[in-house]
Amino acid sequence: MNPQYTPEYFEQLKDSVVWFEDGSLNMAYNVIDHNIEIGNGNKTALIYESEDGKTTEITFFSMVRKSNRIANYLESLGIKRGDRISIFLPRIPELFYIFLGIIKTGAIASIYFSAFESAALKDRLQNSGTKVMFTNKNLLARIERIKDDLAELKNVICVDDEEFVDNYKAQPDNFEIAHTQAEDYAFMLYTSGTTGKPKGIVHSHYAIIQQIASAKLSLDLRPNDVYWCTADPGWISGIVYSILSNWALGITTVVYGGRFDSEKWYSVLEKHKVTVWYTTPTAIRMLMAKGEELVKRHDLSSIRFMASVGEPLNPEAIIWGNKTFGKFFHDTWWQTETGSIMIANTPKLGIHPGSMGKPLPWVEAKIMDDNMEEVVVNEEGNLCLKPYWPSIMRTIWNDEKKYESYFKDGWYISGDKAKKDEKGYFWFIGRADDVIKTSGERIGPFEVESVLIEHPEVVEAGVIGKPDAVRGEIVKAFVVLKNESLASEQLKLELQEFVRHHLAGHAYPREIEFIDRLPKTRSGKIMRRILRAKEFGDPIGDISTLEDY
């Protein structure tokens, strides 16, 4: 692909990154090494807290040296530009500097959730043709079970193996960073589509130009911030906003290596005096369920900005955030394919609870019908973006046909349904294949879910459309209660009436099923296709991106 960017757009952003004298660009150099040039060498880059509370701090100087040793080690293995190198590790410091070291060589980096089992790994590693995999002894068995089926995988390296550690320490801590071109591939990430088949979304070095700009504008990152993006680096938010953009801006970044725990999260925020917090709707709703008393036990006065990413944030959670913390969670919208935040409730934008916000200044977004005609204000349609932008995916690995299916008539089709109001705010309706049509009326599952979780007994809800001979479809809700013992037919009736009263008579869930948890990705997105598959007895498909809190 040879994308054409508007001159105005390029001129607006090009000076935010460092180009080599020959006109080349390396993402990792901009992310970490450039900090040495601007005097951040002794500044803490990473504050890492393990699940047992042990804290490790790594400066930018140290991060440069560590990533350089990884790059030298990879070259000693014969790795060349364009080779695919994968990381299968929990959230530990090694993951971060290995990722950057890979990119420094000109190879293509890929990170996999540490919760993946062998089958999920096999699909991705086979598709990508990974040559080297970094893991640890705890996860090694999952790879060894499938290694014979991975003809291109030459080296599996345990970062806690003594032989590797000695070899790594013996490597030089300086490295001649590859002068990659802006359009050369830097990293790839696998994501499940509506069919359940994972696809390898590939991003170029040029993406960093927009990732920096979006972080500054949407997350209000400033030089003295202590910043915590809770997303796992196996998901793109954890790559773009806890490795790339934040460190390119010289921001001290917190990483917590343990699982979700409300008390622990508040402790991390307090202990490290986090100023900017970027988290997920799932986490926010789980914090809500624990109540305000837990919050009051901690001094969280350091927080000045909070944002959310993943499944759209329900109005109730936004209102709760303001009541509890004295400030709003600012929702953001983007996708693995877009490579950076595209629509957001930026700091200076007035919050309309439940809205995605407005497109960032360099983003052209429209709501289109199926004939690619723009719809009128407040009418639902397909959310489309005008390509190309620097952080847009460059291809889908080994599936150019799938890649091309995202584009039509000069527009990128997001696959999300949305509407735009008279003030220019965008409102998420649902995925194109999630929208429910009952008795001729269109219902967005997110809208019903938002009302359900306003009920005092409900923690979360997932909504699907279920075929009905009379109405075409009916709404079915899967509901997680704060107290499972309250589940009853009477409560189902109460919830139905609650939705009727707060939303619309035709939108209430005619069927409700109480469950102990919803299937969600680690990013917090409800996997409604799994709810549908279980309901109808269909194959579930790829579930490797399910959360593992």
Structural domain of residue 77, as residue ranges?
A: 7-420
Q: Which residue has the tokens 């410091």?
A: 93
Question: Residue 337: helix, strand or coil by DSSP?
Answer: coil
290 plus 245 within the same structural domain: yes
Mean pLDDT of 153-158: 97
Domain annotation covers residue 531: no
pLDDT higher at 244 or 2: 244
Angstrom distance (rounded) from CA 170 to CA 80:
21
Q: What is the pLDDT of residue 149?
A: 94
Whether 315 contacts 450, CB under 8 Å: yes
The per-residue DSSP string of 456-485 comes to TTEEEEEEEEEEETTTEEEEEEEEEESSGG
39 plus 168 within the same structural domain: yes
DSSP-derived secondary structure letter, 261: -
pLDDT exceeds 50 at position 194: no
Mean pLDDT of 156-180: 97
Report the helix count and the strand count for the chain, using DSSP H and E.
19, 26
pLDDT exceeds 50 at position 1: no
| Strand partners of residue 430 | 417
pLDDT higher at 532 or 38: 38
Other beta carbons within 10 Å of 166 = 9
467 plus 353 within the same structural domain: no
Domain annotation covers residue 506: yes
Query: The domain spanning residue 465 has which CATH number?
Result: 3.30.300.30
Q: What is the pLDDT of the chain when averaged over all its residues?
A: 91
25 plus 128 within the same structural domain: yes
321 plus 449 within the same structural domain: no
Angstrom distance (rounded) from CA 539 to CA 527:
14
Cα 210 to its chain centre, rounded Å, is 16
Q: Comparing 41-55, 81-95, 455-469, which segment has the lowest mean pLDDT?
A: 455-469
Structural domains of the chain, count: 2
The per-residue DSSP string of 40-55 comes to -TTSEEEEEE-TTS-E
Question: Residue 414: helix, strand or coil by DSSP?
Answer: strand
pLDDT band with cut points at 50, 70 and 90 for residue 470: low
DSSP-derived secondary structure letter, 351: P
pLDDT exceeds 50 at position 99: yes
267 plus 186 within the same structural domain: yes
Domain annotation covers residue 119: yes
Which CA distances in Å does 140 have to 133, 134, 143, 207, 487? 10, 9, 5, 32, 42
Which CA distances in Å does 308 have to 208, 281, 333? 21, 6, 9
pLDDT exceeds 80 at position 275: yes
pLDDT exceeds 70 at position 505: yes
219 plus 337 within the same structural domain: yes
Please give the helix or strand (H or E) that residue 100 lies within, else none: helix 93-105
Backbone angles phi, psi at 122, to 5 degrees: -60, -50
Q: Which residue has the tokens 């590859």?
A: 178
389 plus 472 within the same structural domain: no
Any idea of the CA torsion for 144, 149, 152, 156, to the nearest 10 degrees? 0
For residue 248, which of 230, 221, 274 has the smallest C-alpha distance? 221
Residue 510 identity: R
Query: The domain spanning residue 164 has which CATH number?
Result: 3.40.50.12780
Angstrom distance (rounded) from CA 259 to CA 549:
6
247 plus 112 within the same structural domain: yes
Q: Which two tokens stand for residue 125?
A: 């590693």
Q: Which residue has the tokens 């927080």?
A: 303
Rg (CA), the chain: 23
Mean pLDDT of 309-329: 90
Mean pLDDT of 149-154: 95
Domain annotation covers residue 56: yes
What percentage of residues in the chain have a pLDDT greater than 70?
94
Domain annotation covers residue 544: no
Please give the helix or strand (H or E) that residue 11 lies within, else none: helix 7-13
Domain annotation covers residue 1: no
Q: Which two tokens stand for residue 331?
A: 């929702």
453 plus 386 within the same structural domain: no
80 plus 154 within the same structural domain: yes
| Strand partners of residue 368 | 374, 382
Q: Comparing 114-128, 215-229, 348-362, which segment has the lowest mean pLDDT?
A: 114-128
Domain annotation covers residue 523: no
116 plus 188 within the same structural domain: yes
Write the pLDDT tens digit of every residue in 507-545. Answer: 889 999 999 889 887 667 888 888 988 888 877 666 555
Question: Residue 454: helix, strand or coil by DSSP?
Answer: coil
Q: What is the pLDDT of residue 196?
A: 47
Whether 461 contacts 316, CB under 8 Å: no
Q: Comparing 56-65, 157-166, 495-504, which segment has the lowest mean pLDDT?
A: 495-504
Question: Residue 488: helix, strand or coil by DSSP?
Answer: coil
Write the pLDDT tens digit of every residue in 398-441. Answer: 999 999 999 999 999 999 999 999 999 999 987 777 778 776 66
The per-residue DSSP string of 71-91 comes to HHHHHHTT--TT-EEEEE--S
Question: Residue 524: helix, strand or coil by DSSP?
Answer: coil
Mean pLDDT of 277-286: 89
pLDDT band with cut points at 50, 70 and 90 for residue 192: low
pLDDT exceeds 60 at position 208: yes
Angstrom distance (rounded) from CA 473 to CA 488:
24
Domain annotation covers residue 548: no
What percentage of residues in the chain have a pLDDT greater than 90?
71
Q: What is the side-by-side strand order in the sheet with 84-88?
A: 155-158, 132-135, 84-88, 108-112, 185-192, 198-204, 395-396
For residue 523, which of 335, 327, 369 has the smallest C-alpha distance? 335
Q: Which two tokens stand for residue 190?
A: 């696998």
